[in-house]
Amino acid sequence: DGGITQSPKYLFRKEGQNVTLSCEQNLNHDAMYWYRQDPGQGLRLIYYSQIVNDFQKGDIAEGYSVSREKKESFPLTVTSAQKNPTAFYLCASSIIQGGNEQFFGPGTRLTVL
């Protein structure tokens, strides 16, 4: 089955700790994305990547970091610099071409205590 996996589904961390969210896809898509979803805020783009070893900041990149060492993987690290990290995080992938839909993972709900 082709798709996107995110792990874990729920994650709890203490304030001040860095945490890494996993995202893996087997759709052979070049582009991958990370979104943050807060109630009533819709989807806000954190980072995206179009090719291995390259990525671009989205609208709310501060306090986050990413890597793209493999085409299939695009992990997101929520650093201690992120002032309000508690949120639902969604990973997506797509073909690089205008008009192509995105495929989303099941999301990770991060709660910082």
- Residues in the site for other proteins, rule: CB under 8 A? 33, 40-43, 45, 48, 58, 88, 90, 92, 96-107, 109
**Token pair in block for residue 97:** 């071409």
| Maximum pairwise Cα distance, the chain | 40
User: In this complex, which beta carbon is closest to other proteins, that of residue 70 or of residue 106?
Assistant: 106
**Token pair in block for residue 26:** 């087997």
User: In this complex, which beta carbon is closest to other proteins, that of residue 81 or of residue 106?
Assistant: 106
**Token pair in block for residue 96:** 């690089």
Report in angstroms how near the CB of residue 30 gets to other proteins at its nearest: 11
Report in angstroms how near the CB of residue 60 gets to other proteins at its nearest: 13
Q: Are 16 and 80 in contact (CB under 8 A)?
A: yes
Report in angstroms how near the CB of residue 102 gets to other proteins at its nearest: 7
CA dihedral sign of residues 2, 99, 58, 16: negative
User: In this complex, which beta carbon is closest to other proteins, that of residue 2 or of residue 98?
Assistant: 98
